[in-house]
């Protein structure tokens, strides 16, 4: 792993960044994930995609409640014609509420919930030799009021309007 990536991973789990996230989101007691369970370096090859989904809400090993996703894109000179935009969908899946082009240096921070649907559902059109790269970090809290029946350690996949799997 390149030293700059290792340093970024350390910084995104530092107390200073956790303080920033707490101030930004209002979630107290945020903690990072030293295992990077489901997170870390993500790379999508040409033709790859990630269907719209809501992430797991409970860490399988710690039992902590997932609250925040932080995605950092690493794609220098990304051509928007290649696709790969992150799509953030309305909770009722009626529409794409926001699209984010995965340009290098773009950082997306969003709450994780049962209805925080997101993905890049269309096949990536970048040329051979190029990939869509990102770093993914997830942040958790202890929540004594969380209903254990709502525990979800798996991802929930969704169809877009008019789409079939």
**Mean pLDDT (the chain, rounded):** 93
φ/ψ region of 77 (left if φ > 0, alpha if ψ in -120 to 50, else beta) reads: left
For residues 113 and 57, the answer to whether their CB atoms sit within 8 Å is yes
pTM exceeds 0.75 for this model: yes
Please say whether the dihedral angle defined by the alpha carbons of residues 29, 32, 34 and 38, taken in this order, is positive or negative: positive
Query: For position 59, what pLDDT does the model report?
Result: 87
Question: 155: which residues sit within 8 A by CB, 6+ positions away?
Answer: 53, 54, 55, 56
- Would you kindly state where each structural domain of the chain is located, as residue ranges? 3-143
In words, the CATH class of domain 3-143 is mainly beta
DSSP conformation class of 49: -
Please say whether the dihedral angle defined by the alpha carbons of residues 136, 141, 145 and 147, taken in this order, is positive or negative: positive
Q: pLDDT tens across 13-67, in order? A: 999 999 999 999 999 999 999 889 999 999 999 999 999 999 998 888 888 999 9
For residues 36 and 131, the answer to whether their CB atoms sit within 8 Å is no
DSSP conformation class of 104: T
């Amino acid at each position: 792993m390149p030293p700059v990536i290792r340093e970024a991973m350390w910084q995104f789990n530092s107390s200073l960044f956790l303080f920033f996230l707490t101030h930004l989101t209002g979630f107290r007691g945020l903690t990072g994930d030293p295992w990077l369970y489901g997170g870390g370096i993500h790379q999508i090859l040409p033709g790859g995609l990630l269907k719209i989904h809501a992430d797991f809400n409970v860490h399988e090993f710690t039992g902590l409640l997932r609250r925040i996703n932080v995605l950092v894109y690493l794609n220098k000179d990304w051509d928007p014609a290649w696709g790969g935009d992150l799509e953030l969908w309305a909770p009722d899946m009626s529409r794409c509420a926001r699209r984010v082009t995965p340009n290098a240096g773009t950082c997306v921070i969003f709450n994780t919930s049962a209805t925080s649907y997101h993905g890049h559902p269309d096949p990536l059109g970048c040329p051979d030799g190029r990939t869509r790269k990102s770093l993914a970090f997830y942040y958790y809290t202890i929540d004594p009021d969380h209903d254990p029946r709502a525990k979800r350690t798996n991802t929930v996949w969704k169809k877009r309007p008019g789409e079939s799997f």
